[in-house]
Chain A
Amino acid sequence: NAGVTQTPKFQVLKTGQSMTLQCAQDMNHNSMYWYRQDPGMGLRLIYYSASEGTTDKGEVPNGYNVSRLNKREFSLRLESAAPSQTSVYFCASLGGYNQPQHFGDGTRLSIL
């Protein structure tokens, strides 16, 4: 019963470094999502993948890229990290219409 698994849980980067956040789900869900959460804010959608082989921009995509590696895995890449990308990143998956999303426990990313 792993659900949605995110790695790593914590990471500190220097400005300009690159990094990939990993997400995997074991529920055979078609859709997957990446969000960021900043203090006092709700979650904002970065990118999503409605199905294997497709990805689309969300509300705040600048500075990020994604890869839907297969049905299980959806990764988020920061090519050149900036302090404004310091945040908590959540991955989620969705099984179908009018169903709830299932969330991982997040990756806490600090960029110095």
Chain B
Amino acid sequence: SQQGEEDPQALSIQEGENATMNCSYKTSINNLQWYRQNSGRGLVHLILIRSNEREKHSGRLRVTLDTSKKSSSLLITASRAADTASYFCATDAGYGGSQGNLIFGKGTKLSVKP
């Protein structure tokens, strides 16, 4: 079963606009991670936010975490055509009693038009 659920499933914006994706999850977590997947490629790690953190930044990326609402958001500012990809949230909730095991959501497909 999927732990995380991203919203929206698909998002289409113009270059230069901001893109916001949301992730909700069901159980307590050790950390939450965001990954990007370009078409036909593997997943690339973007940001990891620990359960005791509320916000993290990396370049044009901003991630927030609200553990009381069991939700996270990924903001991409000043988007570029190269940001076109699928974005996945993944939670480390100690699946199988082992820290580090991730449960992935179904992803948000972002399309940035030039």
Within 8 A of B (CB), among A50-96: 50, 56-59, 90, 92, 94, 96
B interface with A by C-beta (< 8 Å): 1-2, 4, 30-31, 33, 35, 41-45, 48, 50, 88, 90, 92, 95-96, 98-107
Most chain A CB atoms below 10 A, which of B41, B101, B105: B101
Q: Is the CB of B95 within 8 A of A50?
A: no
Q: Taking A42-B107, A43-B88, A59-B1 as contacts, is the C-beta distance between A102 and B45 under 8 angstroms? A: yes
Q: List 27 A-B contacts (CB under 8 A).
A: A33-B102, A41-B106, A42-B90, A43-B102, A44-B104, A45-B101, A48-B96, A48-B98, A50-B98, A50-B100, A56-B96, A56-B98, A58-B95, A59-B1, A90-B42, A90-B43, A97-B100, A98-B48, A99-B48, A100-B33, A101-B33, A101-B45, A101-B100, A103-B42, A104-B42, A105-B41, A106-B42
A40, B35: Cα distance in complex, Å: 16
Which of B4, B48, B102, B107 is A45 in contact with, Cβ under 8 Å?
B102
- Are A43 and B33 also in contact (CB < 8 A) when A48-B96, A58-B96, A98-B50 are? no
Q: How many residues of A contact B (CB 8 A)?
A: 30
Q: Are B104 and A42 in contact (CB under 8 A)?
A: yes
**A30 to B: closest C-beta gap in Å:** 9
> In the docked arrangement, what's the CA distance between A4 and B100, Å?
17
By beta carbon, the residue of chain A nearest B44 is A103
Q: Quick one: which of B44, B45, B100, B104 contacts A31, CB cutoff 8 A?
A: B100
Q: Are A42 and B105 in contact (CB under 8 A)?
A: yes
Task: Determine whether the beta carbon of A45 is less than 8 Å from that of B95.
Answer: yes
Report the bound CA distance from A99 to B92 in whole Å.
10
Give every chain A residue within 8 A of B45 (Cβ-Cβ).
Answer: 100-102
Ordered nearest first, which 8 A-B pairs have the shortest CB separation?
A42-B104, A100-B45, A103-B42, A43-B104, A103-B43, A105-B42, A42-B106, A94-B100
Q: How far is the CB of A9 from chain B (nearest CB, A)?
A: 10
User: B96–A97 contact, CB under 8 A?
Assistant: no
